[in-house]
Amino acid sequence: MVRLPFLGVLLLLFGALLPDRAHGVILRTGEAPETPPTGRFADSGWQWQIGPNSCGTVIGPNHVLSASHLGHWSGSRIEWNGMVYVVSEAVDHPNSDLRLLRVAGRFPTWAPLNRSSAEVRKEVVVFGRGGPPGTPVVANNKVCGWNWTPADGRLRWGTNQVDSVVTGNDSPEGNYIVAMFDEKGGSQEATFSIGDSGGGVFLQTPTGWVLAGVINAVQSTFRATVDGPVIYAALFDRRPFLEEVSPGFWDYDPNRYRRPGTFWMASRVSSYALWIDVRMSEPPQSPTPRLLEAASVAGPFDEVVAYSIDPGARRIQVPQPGATSGFFRIEGEGQLRVESIGAGSVVFRY
């Protein structure tokens, strides 16, 4: 259980206590889709989510934004689009749950950051790698939600609408966007469970989809009776259930009829965009080689659009260019040789 620093504010606004870290996307109607969004939600952020077991969003040629409580550190391995990237640096914002990762290599595409503070009442698309919904949670012969299941690492998505913005008591920068999971939303309305932390929250602007939040926590701990077992669930109707209104004390939330649903929250990217910009612009503490490519041996050579480096193994992976050919060289190192070609990529050693 995680006790968040802005607990008093959340109690005031939602009558809620002790949201758990959002660790699968669960819809009001059950299981969320495991295929990329289409139609009006096409290209809304799925393409920028990392794996394999936890989430984060690619936000630059060498950077990923995720949740600090997930524990990605230098040397961690992440996956994106069939490539394995090694984290070369990890830095936390001092007053939030955000962690900025630098990788060895290069991403070919990345998500723009939201820089507007007008998130409230905006529809968002959310992504996570938690588990599917479990058995229904039933009270008074009515389905009120879904029990959690263990995370399975599968990427899922859903939608919701930003309800409000909450500012932490410990820092003016400790901002979060908050959304409700209730019966008022449509069939795609989503909340979270174990494994979703770090997933991206995207909203649409006139110029395209932008990253507005990084999933942080969800209201999810209940009891049917005072001495009954704790229920970890995604509830869209929490009225029949008790909550831990103070440490060790369970009772009904008096505000549950005004807000029968549960809430989830995400670190608000617009509050940290400047910090992200500054940290991304800093030179790497431990520079890694750059892979260059040219159409002819005479050049000119430019950096390869997409590749990953494993500095410890001195190995470079590049998506296989298909029928085209090219000339490669490595900047700052000596000899470069081909180790293997196949399975969709070319692997070099240096």
Q: Give the containing element (helix H, strand E) for 26.
A: strand 26-27
Q: How far apart are CA 159 and CA 212, in angstroms?
A: 13
The reply to whether 268 and 323 lie within a common domain is no
Q: How far apart are CA 48 and CA 108, in angstroms?
A: 10
Enclosing domain of residue 174:
7-100+108-281
- The answer to whether 168 touches 174, Cβ cutoff 8 Å, is yes
pLDDT at residue number 24 = 65
CATH classification at residue 201: 2.40.10.10
pLDDT at residue number 19 = 55
How far apart, in Å, are the Cα atoms of 171 and each of 93, 168, 176, 270, 338?
A: 12, 6, 12, 15, 51
Q: How far apart are CA 124 and CA 180, in angstroms?
A: 12
Closest CA to 221 of 191, 201, 204, 241: 241
Mean pLDDT per 10-residue interval, the chain, length 350 residues: 30 42 74 94 98 94 95 93 95 93 97 96 96 95 95 94 83 79 89 92 97 95 96 97 93 95 96 97 92 91 95 92 74 87 89
The reply to whether 82 and 150 lie within a common domain is yes
pLDDT at residue number 17 = 42
pLDDT at residue number 187 = 83
The reply to whether 264 and 296 lie within a common domain is no
The reply to whether 321 and 243 lie within a common domain is no
How far apart, in Å, are the Cα atoms of 225 and each of 103, 221, 312?
A: 48, 13, 54
pLDDT at residue number 71 = 84
The reply to whether 120 and 175 lie within a common domain is yes
Number of domains in the chain: 2
Closest CA to 20 of 197, 165, 241: 197
SS3 percent helix, strand, coil of the chain, rounded to 5, is 10, 40, 50
The reply to whether 323 and 221 lie within a common domain is no
pLDDT at residue number 21 = 54
The reply to whether 187 and 116 lie within a common domain is yes
Residues in CB range of 327: below 8 A, 6 or more apart: 293, 294, 295, 296, 297, 301
Q: Give the containing element (helix H, strand E) for 340.
A: strand 337-342
The reply to whether 305 and 219 lie within a common domain is no
Instruction: List the beta bridge partners of residue 213.
Output: 268
